[in-house]
Structure 1
Amino acid sequence: MSDTVESRPNGTVVYPAADHARDENSLPALWEHSRLQCGRLLLRWARDPVTLIQALIYPALTLVMFRIVLGDSITAATGQSSIFGTVPMIVLVGAMFGSVVSAVGLRAERDSGLLGRFYTLPIHRSAGLVGRLMAETIRVFVTSLVIVAAGMVMGFRFTQGLGASVLLFVVPLIFGIGFAMMVTVLATVPGRIPLVELVSIVCTMLMFFNSGFVPVMAYPTWLQPIVANQPMSCAIDTMRALAIGGPVAEPFVKTLAWSLGAVAVFLVPAIRGYRRAARDG
């Protein structure tokens, strides 16, 4: 848009026509509006101490505590440094708890009417949800970088080359998108369901029953198949193999299946819930 704004003698302000007018339902509009929504969310999260604590500080402190309390005992029992299971686990924990804070913010925007005001603007109807998922992806990536950097101070290493190292950071992004889709659905459900409490229970169960916390063989026999195949264990096994070697294909395919399954199940409810929250806000 031109920067020239005319002011007539009668006080009327005349704005110039837009130089790059786009149909609000076009793909270029979706990209531009989603990018703006993504930037808005990232800026808000960066200025919010609660989000920073849940997404960065809490996972980093949890990594330190696990290393101090369980590190030597697990290493002695398995003959392999526990840091290669703990770091991937905490990366995923950071992705999950960060999504919870994001969902609380989404609910607050719904209750305050902000989503409703966005809904009345000439912007792409999908931009809010797409921009939120873009911001979630960036948040998970930054969290992963911070946790892995902290883990490297404690002994975590990449031994399988550049390609495997890059793919290791892709795994939590895949996992995080599936989890964020589920949490978005819960955040847009009408009423006042205990969002934080419900999701925290799920996160805690996953965190204490996975192959990164202790080896699968340490769990009761009847529980081992469940622990070995739950989504966090599949992602942890993939990241561990990408760091120090081992089978990658099977756990990676399982991680994809879990995440794509979550997207398939929750995508339509998330779209409808987000639209309903914006329309009714």
Structure 2
Amino acid sequence: MSTTTSGGAPAREDDLAPVPARTLAELLVAEERPTRAGPLAASLAFGWRAMLKIKHVPEQLFDVTVLPVMMVLMFTHLFGGALAGSPREYIQYLLPGVMVMSVVMTTMYTGIAINNDIDKGVFDRFRTLPIWRPATIIGYLLGDVLRYSIASLVMLTAGMIIGFRPDGGVPGVVAGILLLIVFAFAFSWIGTMFGLLVRDEKTVMGASMTAIFPLNFLSDIFVDPATMPGWLQTLVHNNPITHVASAVRGLMDGRWPGVDIAWTLGWSVALVAVFGSLTVRLYNRK
């Protein structure tokens, strides 16, 4: 018995016989298998994916470009004359604090992005890959470091245009921004946890803002705590945002606020330890 091939030539039965299992296995493993990605490589790969999403959807940078500039201009010119005598004097105190406020508010978008991927089924695909489990989450956070950097640079540029002059020079400014990014990375775990915990992105935003708003406004971002009542000063001095804003302000001013830097790093470690472990547990059980 014979058949005809696509070229018209007759084919023998031997040509149509199934390939033996041993031969098939040899074909599949004929080349050396690629090395499995380690935790760092996998995390960086997902971080690059988050950056590519920014490249292909640049509109999502609106919240780290236009909004921070609006905040600097409004707060400086609305409150500068009343609180410091002039906007130029007030911007020296305000800008580092508003920079912290803007970056911390940006952290909630990590949870929103994760929630969207869960809703679209992308996370189901990630969970089937032979990779280190937390790499997916850490990749989102690493990708958002770019957003924090852009927000900080945009606000710094806007502040310098309207009169901000950091006495700490370039080293102080760089140190302040790096410290802020470290804290923002740690704080992002809160939004990430909400992204895994709730069902839709609107709830993620609402839950994140519920945590962020009181911390931002019960701090020394806008005014010196010395002007507040005693009970309120206690709340402000024990607020992690106060420690971050004071540390960034001190570094940009040319000082070395060792206590506030230590508190900032301590809060960062605590946030990762608590909310990072909760997030990973939720992800593994999702």
- Alignment gaps of 5+ in structure 1: 1-8
> Could you tell me which residue of structure 1 aligns to residue 236 of structure 2?
227
Q: Structure 2 matches for 1:150-189, cutoff 5 A?
A: 150-189=158-197
Give yes or no for the alignment of 1:21 onto 2:34. Answer: yes
Map of 2:138 onto structure 1: 130
Partner amino acid, structure 2, of 1:260: V
Give the letter aligned to residue 271 of structure 1: V
Q: Matches of residues 78-97 of structure 1 in structure 2 within 5 Å?
A: 81-97=89-105
Matched with 1:72 is: 81
Partner of 2:12: none
> So what's the TM-score if we normalise by structure 1?
0.83
Question: Hey, what does 2:150 align to over in structure 1?
Answer: 142
Relative to structure 1, the CA distance from residue 220 to residue 269 in structure 2 (aligned partners, 3 Å threshold; closer, same or farther) is same
User: Aligned to 1:34, which of 43, 46, 49?
Assistant: 43
Calculate the TM-score normalised by the size of structure 2: 0.81
Distance 1:238 1:84 in 2: 14
C-alpha distance in structure 2 between counterparts of 1:65 and 1:231, whole Å: 25
Q: 1:75 to 1:20 in 2, by over 3 A?
A: farther
RMSD after superposition? 2.7
The alpha-carbon deviation at position 238 of structure 1 amounts to: 0.9
Shift of 1:97: 2.4
* Deviation of 1:38 (Å): 0.9
| CA deviation after TM superposition for structure 1 residue 119, in Å | 1.3
Change in CA separation of 1:186 and 1:17 when aligned onto 2, cut-off 3 Å: farther
Task: State the Cα deviation string for residues 217-266 of structure 1 (Å, max 9, x = none).
Answer: 23222101211231111111111111224451011111112211111111
More deviation, 195-204/49-58: 49-58
Residue identity over aligned pairs, in percent, reads: 25
Question: For residues 117 and 88 of structure 1, do their structure 2 counterparts lie closer, same or farther at Cα, with a shift above 3 Å needed?
Answer: same
For 2:59 and 2:215, locate their aligned partners in 1 and report how far apart those are by CA, in whole Å. 22
Candidates 217, 224, 245, aligned match of 2:226: 217
CA displacement at 1:45 relative to structure 2: 2.9
Distance in 2 (alpha carbons) for counterparts of 1:243 and 1:42:
28
AA matched with 2:159:
G
The one-letter code matched in structure 2 to 1:180 is: S
- Give the deviation of 1:138 after TM superposition: 2.5
Q: Which has the larger radius of gyration?
A: 2
Unaligned runs of 5+ in 2: 1-14, 17-26
Shift of 1:181: 0.9
Number of corresponding residues: 262
Pick which of 88-97 and 142-151 moved more.
Answer: 88-97
Residue number in structure 1 paired with 2:205: 196
**Partners of 1:18 and 1:106 in 2: CA distance:** 36
